[in-house]
Amino acid sequence: MAKIESLTPEQWAEVHQHRDQVIERCLNQPLDHNKIGQSIGACYEAVGEKPPLAIVWAPGPVAALAWSAILRAEGEKPEARQLGDQLGDQLWDQLRDQLRDQLGDQLRGQLWDQLGDQLWDQLWDQLRGQLWDQLWGQLQDQLWDQLGGQLGDQLRGQLWDQLWDQLGDQLGGQLGGQLRGQLWDQLRGQLGGQLNGAIASGWWLTDYEFWLHIAQISGITPPDEATLSLARQAADMLTPTMIIPLRGVCIAVDQHTALHRDNRNRLHCTDGAAWAWADGTQIYALDGIRVPEWVVRRPDPKRIISDELPNTEQRRVAMAHYGWDRAVDDLNLKIIEASDNPVWGTLYALPETLVERGQATLLVCQNASPDRDGTVRTYGLLASSEARTVVAAQASLAQLSESEWLTLEGAS
Amino acid sequence: MITHQEVADRTGTEIPPHLIAQAEVPVATNWRQGDVYVMKHAAGPKGTGIDISKGAGHKVVAGEADRNSHILNGDGMFYPGRYRSDFDYGLLIVPAATDENPAPLAVLTHTDEHGSVAFGPGSYRVFGQVSHETEIRRATD
């Protein structure tokens, strides 16, 4: 059988459309609870489990993890099995492994020999790679990191009470109230462990969507209908940012309340949380770098250069958000050299708390052309640490020698 | 010097209205437009070139939704690749004058705040500004 070696422009347009539709479904549209619920049930049955008695929609990732811990603890107690005798075991590993066994081998086995190597590479890059980058690399990986480090903090205080009450409401008040006081210490120990798998939906999803699109390319002999149908159900099940499949109950995280990204799809918001849910889970980020809330809402250059921010990437984006030109005045940065030409700029030494030792100098310059509103933008650039003159700093930004840089006739 | 109107007429591009006041576009051999440098560079082209005279030209740096993009228009070819540094976008080659085109020019325009600049016959390295962070990386607006 001849392999398909290339796609037509129309077929590539369909690839891009599929990619965009998946991103739209996962990130921008209200989640279809019924469809996802049916898919979860089908996937449970496919791995030999009864469909969950309830699909619980958590208002955010922290709530989902807390509820999961509550339900698992509840399920371990003989006197507290109001939801049946099978509640609470984690099914994530079982679902992942058995679905992979049932689907992965069949999809790959049927489709692999039908496309040329170069086309696989192109499809991998244009479909799976971009989905992976947007859903996992830029978003879920950040959520994973944040929750891994801050779960205890996120659950303190009122949030705990609120989440407990909400779960009780969803399950018809069937939770044993006596558990509440006993669970806190136990939960804190379990929460981190539950992260494993729960947020990997983007990783899985991209895999299934990749194979599903290839199976529908014109000229391809697709796998059997049952395989395709299960793959579709698995992809739909994984649409939420996070699901926690337990025996008897599946917890799924409902759609976020806010998601802001920059033009490179990185989490980015300069006036609020970049990613937020109704349970109070919030991620603040600038240029894809997670930062504490105060960096966005109450930026303070003295705090930025202190040890409060643990790494230079955070300090750099935080200071860029605050404004290098403002920081220069607020921090009384030491001038190394000032040019008479504001486009060439003024060179400052940077405190070692702001950048790694000897890493860079700061060149504050003006744009050579005005913005649309007529103002001239001032901005800061991190130049070579070895620069002791404005020209040397400018040359380091262009990776030129000073004499080469001086041959520039102008800037605009 | 040529005028922005001439650039618009020759390349079919729209010049941002706030830059129209700068009626003249410099013709240069070494220039910086925002965080993009264009400098005379003796080198032969690599790979397949892009004809910058076609359509709306070639976006050397493509910003989101056509914002903050640096675009080459006019006469010549652009050959993406590395010619001296890892931060090169490619090589611009503006052809020599002919009877049909006695004054060939390539023009680098910008969709937002940066004024245009034109380049006469010759070869030019087009490259980006860097930022000295934990590692040297391409600067981003």
Indicate if ipTM > 0.85: yes
Q: What are the Cα distances from residue A248, in Å, to A55, A94, A95, B6?
A: 9, 14, 14, 72
pLDDT interval class at B18 (50, 70, 90): low
pLDDT interval class at B134 (50, 70, 90): low
What's the whole-model pTM score?
0.66
User: Is A214 part of any domain?
Assistant: yes
Comparing A6-10, A171-175, B69-73, the range with the smallest average pLDDT is A171-175
- A331 and A316 in one domain? no
Measured between CA atoms, how close is A376 to chain B, in angstroms?
A: 9
Six-digit token string for A96: 């992942």
Res A158: pLDDT: 54
Res A265: pLDDT: 84
Domain ends where: A321, A344, A370?
A321
d(CA B127, CA B111): 18
Task: Say if strands B106-110 and B88-94 run parallel, antiparallel, or are unpaired.
Answer: unpaired
d(CA A227, CA A24): 25
- B57 part of contact set with chain A, CB < 8 Å: no
Please compute the mean of the pLDDT values over residues A297-323 and round it to a whole number: 81
Residue whose entry in the numeric block shows the structure tokens 């049930």:
A41
Please compute the mean of the pLDDT values over residues A17-34 and round it to a whole number: 93
pLDDT interval class at A14 (50, 70, 90): very high
**Amino acid at site A251:** I
- A340 and A218 in one domain? no
Residue B91, domain extent: 2-138
Six-digit token string for A374: 């007529």
- A279 and A172 in one domain? no
Listing DSSP states for A265-293 in one string gives S-B--SSS-SEE-TTS-EE-EETTEE--H
Count of domains forming chain B: 1
- A150 and A71 in one domain? yes
Give the pLDDT confidence of A54-79 residue by residue, as tens digits. 899 999 988 888 888 777 776 666 55
pLDDT interval class at A89 (50, 70, 90): low
Asked whether residue A180 carries a pLDDT value surpassing 90, the answer given is no
Asked whether residue B37 carries a pLDDT value surpassing 90, the answer given is yes
- A268 and A188 in one domain? no
Res A177: pLDDT: 54
Listing DSSP states for A346-411 in one string gives EEEE--TTTSSTT-EEEEEEE-SS--TTS---EEEEEEETT--SHHHHHHHHHT--HHHHTT--EE
Phi, psi of B92 (to 5 degrees): -100, 130
Asked whether residue A83 carries a pLDDT value surpassing 80, the answer given is no
CB A106 within 8 A of CB A208: no
Give the pLDDT confidence of B80-89 residue by residue, as tens digits. 999 999 999 9
**Percent of chain B scoring above 90 in pLDDT:** 46
Please compute the mean of the pLDDT values over residues A265-271 and round it to a whole number: 91
Give the pLDDT confidence of B52-107 residue by residue, as tens digits. 988 778 889 876 445 568 889 889 999 999 999 999 999 999 999 999 988 899 99
Give the pLDDT confidence of A203-238 residue by residue, as tens digits. 788 889 999 999 999 888 999 999 999 999 999 999
Nearest CA in chain B to A384: B132
Domain ends where: A227, A255, A283?
A255
- A267 and A242 in one domain? no
- A385 part of contact set with chain B, CB < 8 Å: yes
CB A10 within 8 A of CB A218: no
User: Is A353 part of any domain?
Assistant: yes
Phi, psi of A215 (to 5 degrees): -65, -20
Residue of A28, A88, A18, A47 whose CA lies nearest to A245? A88
Binary contact (A412, B116; C-beta < 8 A): yes
- A42 part of contact set with chain B, CB < 8 Å: no
Domain ends where: A215, A231, A255?
A255
Six-digit token string for B80: 């993406």
Residue of A298, A287, A230, A233 whose CA lies nearest to A264? A287
Comparing A166-175, A240-249, B37-46, B124-133, the range with the smallest average pLDDT is A166-175
- A87 and A220 in one domain? yes
> Which residues of B fall within a CB distance of 8 Å from A377?
113
User: Residue B64 burial (CB < 10 Å; 0-12/13-18/19+)?
Assistant: exposed
> Which residues of A fall within a CB distance of 8 Å from B134?
312-313, 356, 359
User: Is A195 part of any domain?
Assistant: yes
Of A368, A371, A382, the CB nearest to B132: A382
Phi, psi of B118 (to 5 degrees): -115, 155
Listing DSSP states for A219-269 in one string gives T--PPPHHHHHHHHHHHHHT-SS-EEEBSSEEEEEPPPSEE-B-TTS-B--
Phi, psi of B33 (to 5 degrees): -115, 100
Binary contact (A381, B131; C-beta < 8 A): yes
- A171 and A307 in one domain? no
User: Is A3 part of any domain?
Assistant: no
Phi, psi of B65 (to 5 degrees): 50, 40
> Which residues of A fall within a CB distance of 8 Å from B139?
381, 397
User: Is A410 part of any domain?
Assistant: no
pLDDT interval class at A200 (50, 70, 90): low
Give the pLDDT confidence of A349-362 residue by residue, as tens digits. 987 766 655 567 88
Count of domains forming chain A: 3
Binary contact (A369, B67; C-beta < 8 A): no
Measured between CA atoms, how close is A242 to chain B, in angstroms?
A: 29
User: Is A1 part of any domain?
Assistant: no
Res B113: pLDDT: 72
Q: What angle do CA A299, A286, A133 make, to 5 degrees?
A: 165
Higher-pLDDT residue of A72 and A19 is: A19
Res B65: pLDDT: 47
User: Is A228 part of any domain?
Assistant: yes
Please compute the mean of the pLDDT values over residues A23-52 and round it to a whole number: 94
d(CA A363, CA A349): 9
Binary contact (A407, B30; C-beta < 8 A): yes
- A375 part of contact set with chain B, CB < 8 Å: no
d(CA A399, CA A98): 53
User: Is A131 part of any domain?
Assistant: yes
Nearest CA in chain B to A407: B30
Res A157: pLDDT: 55
- A263 and A247 in one domain? no
Residue A269, domain extent: 258-321
